[in-house]
Amino acid sequence: MTKFAIFLAVTALPMTWAQQQPADPPPAVTNASISGVVRNKNTGAPLKDYTISTYVNATWSGNSITMTATTKQVVAKTDEQGHYRLSDLPPAQYRIAMQGPEGFFGATSNRTVVLAGQDVDGIDFNAIVPATISGKVIDENGDGVPNMMVTLVSKEYYLGSIGYYHGGGALTNDLGEYTLANVKSGHTYYLIAQPWRRHEGAHAETPLNPAMRRRTVMRTWYPSSPDKDGAAPLLLRDSESREGVNIEVKKSPSYCLSGVAMTPNGPAALNLDVELLSPSNGTSSSGGSFGPTPGATTGSNGEFRLCDFAPGSYRVSVSETARAPESTFATTIVNISDRDVTDLRIPTSPRVSMDAEIVLEGEAHKDPFPMALRFNLMPMFRTQQPGEKAGGRADVPGTLQLTGLTWDDYSIYATVNTQGLYIKDITYGARSVFHQPVRVGSEGGSVPLHVILAQDGGRITTRVVNKDDHPVSGTTVIVMPEGAQSEADLAALITSGQTDQAGQYKSGFLAPGKYYVVATEDSYDMTPESIGKLWQSHNRFKEVDLPASGSVQVDLQPTGIR
C-alpha cells in the first residue's frame, strides 16, 4: 500500500460570524432492519416458525465465521404470513441464515445483504419443505423389533474421500414402528437400523461358549442388507410422506471384546466406549453429528468384557473417569470377524502439544494493520476433551501453541481475512494435510504443522442478472478451480456464496489461476451425485483467468446444473 504525504498551506484570515459557527456534526450512524418472507418453494405458501438469524460484528470467509468479543446473534421467527424482521443492525454486510423447523437436518439456506443505514425489505427465502419417512423394523418372521435406532445416512465427499455420515435418527416403539420427520428433500439418503445400546456393566455374563449365546441383531441397511453395498438409496420430494419403509434386520453370531485398559500409572477404572464405524459419530462436510455411544466403566483393575457384538470394525475409546484437563486418552480400531477378541491391552497416553507455525511467503506484507489467522483442529470422531486447546488466533507470521491434544484424528479449520492473503498449503512433516485428516503425533512429538500463506491472492466479483438485465438476489455463485484433478478435489476446493440484493457476489481471496464460475438457483451439496454433476458440466461454465493480486468482474445469468 503506497503512502502519500499531504501538506496544507494555511493563511490567517479575519474570522467572520459565519466562520465562527461550529462545523456540522457528522451524520449519526443509523441502524436498520432486514425483512422478508419465507415461502414454500413449490406452492408459494407462507411458512411459519422458520428461524432467520445473522451475526453482528462478525466476518465470514467462505463458510467459516470469525467472531470477536462484541459479536452477537440476532434471531427472528416467521409469523403466520411467513414474515420476519431482523432489527437494530448497524451498517455492514450480513449473512442471513434461514433454518427450517427444529430437528430438520441440513435445513439451512443463506442470503447476503448489505446494509447502509436504510431498511432493506424483500429478502425472501423459497424453502424446500422437509419430507417424512416412516415404517417398521421387522425380524425374519415379520414381527416388529423395538428399541432399534433408525438413522439417516448421507454419503458425502469429505477431506479428500467419500464417507458415510450420520444424520437424524428415531427410536422404534414397542411395535417396531418409527418416524423420521424433517428429512431434507432432494438429498440422497440411506437408512440403517441397529440396536440402541446404552452403557452397561464392565463384565458381561454372556456364556463363554459362543455356541450357547443368542444370535445378535446386526446393523442393517434398508431394505435388508448387512452391508452398505446392498443398500437402496432414498430420494424424497418436497413435503413427501414416504410410508412403509420397512427394514428387515439380519442376525449373526454374538461375539465379545475383553481385555485391560490402563493409564501410564497402571490399570484403573476407566471409561470405555465402543462404536461401530462407517457411519459413526463425527464431523462431516455438512457439520457432523455426535451422540452417546455404548460402553462401560471398567473395574478398578482396568478389566472389561463386553458382548453382543456382530462382525465389523469398531472404534474403542478409553478415557479417565475424571475428565480433568490433564486426563489421559486412547483410541484403537478393533476388527471382529468370526470369533471373540480377547486379551486386548489399551494403554492411555498423556496429552500432547503441537505448534502451528504460520509462514508468510514473499516480502513482509505492506498492510499496516495486524494480520491474523484463525486456526482450529477439530476432533473427527468425538467432542473436545476438557483442557483441549486446539486452536485460536495467530499472528502472521507467528506461532500458535496447541496444547492438551490427544493421539487422535483431527480435521483442520483455518481462515485468514487480510487483503490479498490466502492459505496456499498446510503441511505436517513432509506431507500436505490441506483438506486431509491429521493424525496428531504420527510424525513425532516435536514436529509442527506449517500453515503457508501466500499474498498474491485475487478476487472474483460477479454480477448476476436475468434476461431483462435486472439483478438477481439470493442466487448461488459457484467458483471451481481448473486445477481440480478429480471429483474429490473439486469437492475440497470449491467455493460458493450468495448474491446480495444488488445481484453481486465477491469471492474471498483466491490463488491466481483459471476458474470456472456459474450462477445457479439449483442447490448443490457434497453428495457424489451433486459433485458429479458439477464435475461433468463445469467446462460449459464461465471461464475466468484471475491474475496475481488482481480482480476480475464477471457478468452471469442463472443457469441449471442438474
Element (H, E) at 380: none
Q: In this structure, what C-alpha cell is assigned to residue 148? A: 432399534
E strand spans, 420-529: 422-428, 431-432, 438-439, 449-454, 459-464, 476-481, 495-498, 504-506, 513-520
**DSSP bridge pairs for 84:** 36
Look at residue 394 and give its three-state secondary structure.
strand
- Alpha-carbon distance of 74 to 395, in angstroms, equals 30
For residue 536 the three cell numbers come to: 461433468
Residue 534 backbone dihedrals phi, psi, to 5 degrees: -65, -40
Confirm if 262 and 268 have CB atoms less than 8 A apart: yes
Would you call the peptide bond into 397 cis, given omega within 30 degrees of 0 as the criterion? yes
Q: How far apart are CA 59 and CA 393, in angstroms?
A: 14
CA-based torsion, 5, 11, 14, 18: positive or negative: negative
Radius of gyration of the chain (CA): 28
Specify the pLDDT at position 186.
Answer: 85
Quote the CA–CA distance of 382 and 315 in Å, as a whole number.
Answer: 11
Mean pLDDT by 10 residues, the chain (562 residues): 32 35 58 94 89 90 74 94 96 90 62 91 88 96 96 94 91 97 89 86 90 94 96 92 97 96 94 92 85 86 94 95 88 96 95 94 67 91 90 92 94 89 95 94 88 96 95 93 92 92 93 96 90 90 96 94 73
All residues at 6 or more sequence positions from 22 whose CB lies less than 8 Å from its CB, including other chains: none
50 and 78 Cβ atoms separated by less than 8 Å? yes
CB atoms under 10 Å from CB of 140, counted, come to: 10
User: What pLDDT is recorded for position 58?
Assistant: 87
Element (H, E) at 532: helix 528-537
The helix (H) or strand (E) run that includes residue 536 is helix 528-537
Q: DSSP letter string over 172-241?
A: --TTSEEEEEEEPTTSEEEEEEEE----B-SB----SSGGGSPPEEPPEETTTBSSGGGPPPEEPPTT-E
What pLDDT, on the 0 to 100 scale, is given for residue 16? 35
Q: Which residues pair with 372 in a beta bridge?
A: 395
State residue 406 phi and psi, 5-degree precision: -110, 165
Longest dimension (CA), the chain: 111
The answer to whether 500 touches 60, Cβ cutoff 8 Å, is no
Instruction: Look at residue 19 in the predicted model and tell me its pLDDT.
Output: 40
Q: How far apart are alpha carbons 276 and 291 in whole angstroms? A: 13
CB 384 within 8 A of CB 390: yes
Angle at 531 between CA 529 and CA 536, to 5 degrees: 95
Enter the C-alpha cell of residue 424. Answer: 496456499
Determine the Cα–Cα distance for residues 488 and 535; give it in Å rounded to an integer.
10
Map residue 346 onto helix, strand or coil: strand
